Structure 1
Amino acid sequence: MDAYAVNLPMADLITKLDEHLVNLGYTANTLRHLRQAWRALKKLALKEGETYFSKELGFRLLREHYDIDPYGSNYKSFKSVTRRAVMLLLEYQISGTIAKRQPKGEYEIPAGFNDVGNKFMESLIETNLAPGTLYNYKMHLFRATTFFVNHGVSDFKALNNDIINIYLKTLAGLSKSYIAGITRALSKFLNFANKHGYTEKAFVLPEITVYKDRRVPEYYTADEVSKILSNIDRGNALGKRNYAMVLLGARYGLRISDIVSLKLSELDFENNRISITQQKTGKPLTLDILPDVGWALIDYLKNGRPEVECDSVFLCHTHPYKAFARGETMQHMLRQYALSAGVWKAGTEKRCSFHMLRYSLASDLIQQGVSLTTISGILGHSELNVTTLYAQLDVPQLKACALEVPV
């Protein structure tokens, strides 16, 4: 058997995970769907004479019984929750816990590593890293150190290369870029611990180089954006919220992280301004409130937004009506409206994202002849060289430059 944190027969493993998710506050409805998938998994294990859960068994269930790619995305609710059920089981077996999405600061690093972890995070804050980056560092450290503790390594004195390598093996199957982020965070943490005398020797982790895809970014045309917006039913509270969110992405090219974190205090209707600090860059950004955006926001705030004490503009429309969790992409919402409007991109498994709205705005501005410097200001880029990447979106000019293919 592999060196799992929770090495139990599958039936017992599922029972322990179920109890853990209940303690984490997973809703009864979510648990009902997860349990349905686990029952199917237990039937498959019984049929094949398997006592213990394994990644191979779980992935076989997904691929052969549900036609689900374990590393795929954009599935409808049933396939999505079935895939999630297998991944949760694998995560709990490997690490002994579930790193449920939480607000920043709630990942509590285990006691034996906590002191160094807090000092390390303080050192990162001093480097002015973006809040989202800091959140990811804390999450990666939480998962790694929790894994160590669940394998009997309670502090740095007991830490060794063997347990680190076992942890790295559990990352197999994740995307190369995600593994690179994990190893980078863990490597910096261990170097920090060694530099400050918490370890006698330095631990060397493999460096993973990720080359970004340089293809032309996908985006919606102005007509497609119009179709998506017109497909949102504004006759109900949820539609009013979603329309305002999509409009902010379409008219300003705002990142979804800035949309979901928008505060009531950042809306200035008297002076017709939206003033935010961007989540990704930490840079301030001030925008004029366009007429259609203003009316959409007013309609939602007056006629759709739940009346609760919360400074966030956009709220989850299920009790207790709180702000969105950090990292929420709202991809499922946009995808629903895009597909309903008959808008998708060939060859991308009908992928939809708010960032495609950002590319759409950039494409429109480029084709209108707006300078890259102006576009950089509108999109809130930290540097002009970031905006130059959007020059790839000038599709008409790219077509004009196309060479004739020899016969």
Structure 2
Amino acid sequence: MDILNCQTFLSDLGEILLHRKEELKCSASTIRMCKYHLNRLQIFMNINGFEFYTPDIGVLFLTSLKCRKGSQQKKAEYVALITQLNDCLIYGYFKSYHCRKIIVSTPTQYVDLENQYLKWCEEKGNVPSTIKNKKSAFSKWFCLLESVGCSSLTEINPGHVTGAVLKEHYTGNYGYIREILKYLAQNDLVKDDLSILIPKQKREYHLPTTYDKDERKRLEMAPDRTTSIGKRDYAIILLANRLGIRCIDICHLTFDNLNLDDSIITFEMAKTKEPYEIYLLDDVKSAIIDYIENGRPAIDDKHIFTMHRSPYAPISRNTIYGIVSKVFRQTGIDTSNKKHGAHSLRSSLATDMVNTGETYEQTRKVLGHRDPNAIRHYARLDRKKLRLCALEVREPSGYFERFLNGEVKL
């Protein structure tokens, strides 16, 4: 990678940076703040006699900030600015720092088939997230078939299927591939049902990860609520810990979902597409209000929870996982062989409700499960009711009794 121009004026880089932010539809306040930061950097360069910008000058500027008083958020904004300027210098634009998956395109001859298959999936009730996964699996599968020499449905044979499935390293797609092959056979697009060649992966069962009340209380106390980020993290943890809201739904929460007058949150659940309404506990309501009024960046975005550095995008599930994991580390809670993301707080709440006498139906409604049988997952941890099912231990007899008495040896 060659730097575009080793003698580049900051004003020229600034124009590239601001144009890129406009392309990304950053808010007016974000662009205004970027101009302010660029002006501060230009003043630093003028004072120190630097005519052209280089990454080394960016490092010197950030080092000078460490010696000054100022919020961590403000310093983080300058770090983002220098990183973006360096990208503009090297690439001609600043890159996005969010991880992006490699997109596999469906071979041209299968595009119409893909649309028909996805429409069929939609008609049978698959939610958008499932259809998205199936679209990805469909594209990848037919690319794999092409890689083993099968370029049309008329050519497909057991050898092609076996060869392609051996190249599919993600076993989670096996179920989708099996359904695709069944769909082809049921619609007479292939001669034989080759789905039987796809291995069936039996999912290993794990009990839900849970943490006791004391541990969950320590998690709530961990965020530093004197900082804007701490206020945000505290509100997010309460939503997951006290109300059991899924992290994807926390990400999607907007101001339209909040009814602070009646202390209610209403939204459509991302997983089930079912409407959901829950009462805001006083502590949760206070935390959200405190964040909105005293911690949230002043940006034009409908989402309640956002990142605290440019371009101030809405938080993602990965962000929430990072927040909760960080709090676990801060509290020193033992997470050995246990999950420690936001979903572990949701499962802990469900288990606590079941163990304290709440009915399974009430617990199901709080969690927002559509399937009445879904709560059986947590019923396995209902210790009081499980004890009622325990069988009495029979008195030893016969050979086993003589073994226990030392009369015989194995």
What is the TM-score with the length of structure 1 in the denominator? 0.63
Cα shift at 1:157: 4.6
Paired residues of 1:256 and 1:329 also in contact (CA < 8 A): no
Match of 1:162 among 153, 156, 159: 159
CA-CA distance at 1:307 after TM superposition: 3.9
Letter paired with 1:383: D
Task: Report the CA distance shift for 1:402/1:239 in structure 2 as closer, same or farther (over 3 A).
Answer: farther
One of 268, 274, 285 as aligned partner of 1:294: 285
* Residue aligning to 1:238: 229
Which runs of 5 or more residues in structure 2 are unaligned?
1-98, 397-403, 405-410
* C-alpha deviation, 1:398, in angstroms: 4.9
CA distance in 2, matches of 1:238, 1:402: 52
The equivalent of 2:325 in structure 1 is 335
Residue matched to 1:370: 358
CA 1:364–1:154 in structure 2 vs 1: closer, same or farther (change >3 Å)? same
Map of 2:376 onto structure 1: 388
Partner of 1:145: 142
- 1:223 shift after superposition: 0.8
Contact 1:112-1:156 at 8 Å conserved across structures: no
Conserved 8 A contact 1:257-1:329? no
- Pairing partner for 2:255 from 240, 264, 281: 264
The one-character-per-residue Cα deviations of 1:59-88 (angstroms, maximum 9, x if unpaired) are xxxxxxxxxxxxxxxxxxxxxxxxxxxxxx
Q: Distance in 1 between matches of 2:352 and 2:324?
A: 20
* TM-score between the two structures when normalised by the length of structure 2: 0.63
- The structural deviation recorded for 1:232 is 1.4
Mapped contact 2:259–2:265 kept (Cα < 8 A): yes
The match for 1:59 is: none
Local SS of the residue matching 2:369: coil
Change (3 A) 1:115 1:343: same
> CA 1:195–1:211 in structure 2 vs 1: closer, same or farther (change >3 Å)?
closer
Task: Map 1:316-335 onto structure 2 (within 5 A).
Answer: 316-324=307-315, 328=318, 330-335=320-325
Deviation at 1:151, TM superposition (A): 5.7
Partner SS, residue 276 of structure 1: strand
Q: Is the 8 A contact 1:344 1:351 kept in 2?
A: no
Distance in 2 of aligned mates of 1:224 and 1:339: 12
> How has the CA–CA distance of structure 1 residues 135 and 316 changed in structure 2, closer, same or farther, with 3 Å as cutoff?
farther
In structure 2, what is the equivalent of residue 126 of structure 1?
A: 123
Per the alignment, residue 206 of structure 1 pairs with 198
1:125–1:108 distance in 2 versus 1, CA, 3 Å:
farther
In 1, Cα distance between the equivalents of 2:129 and 2:318?
12
1:287 to partner: Cα distance: 0.5
Q: Number of paired residues?
A: 296
Matching residue of 1:63? none
Q: Give, in angstroms, the shift of residue 209 of structure 1.
A: 4.7
Distance 2:189 2:266 in 1: 44
The 3 A distance-change label for structure 1 pair 162 and 221 is same
What whole-Å deviation, never above 9, does each CA across 1:299-324 have from its counterpart, x for those lacking one?
A: 22233333444433323444322234
Alpha-carbon distance between aligned partners in 1 of 2:391 and 2:380, rounded to the nearest angstrom: 13
Give, in angstroms, the shift of residue 153 of structure 1: 4.7
Compare CA radii of gyration and give the structure with the larger one: 2
Q: What secondary structure, in the 3-state scheme, does the structure 2 residue paired with 1:238 have? A: helix
Which letter maps to 1:391? A
Q: Counterpart amino acid of 2:138?
A: L
Aligned runs of 1:5-16 on 2, under 5 Å? none
Backbone CA RMSD of aligned residues: 3.1
Question: Matched residue of 2:194: which SS?
Answer: coil
Please report how far the alpha carbon of residue 155 of structure 1 lies from its aligned counterpart in structure 2 after TM superposition: 4.4
Identity %: 25
Out of 297-306 and 287-296, give the one that drifted further: 297-306
Q: Does 1:227 align with 2:227?
A: no
CA contact 2:149–2:160 (8 Å) conserved in 1: no
Equivalent residues of 1:362, 1:393 under 8 A apart: no
**Pick aligned residue for 2:296 from 283, 291, 305:** 305
Report the 3-state secondary structure (helix = DSSP H, G, I; strand = E; otherwise coil) of the residue aligned with 1:369. coil
Instruction: Answer yes or no: is the 8 Å Cα contact 2:252–2:303 preserved in 1.
Output: yes
Structure 2 CA distance for aligned equivalents of residues 364 and 201 of structure 1: 50
Which residue of structure 1 lines up, in the alignment, with residue 347 of structure 2?
A: 359
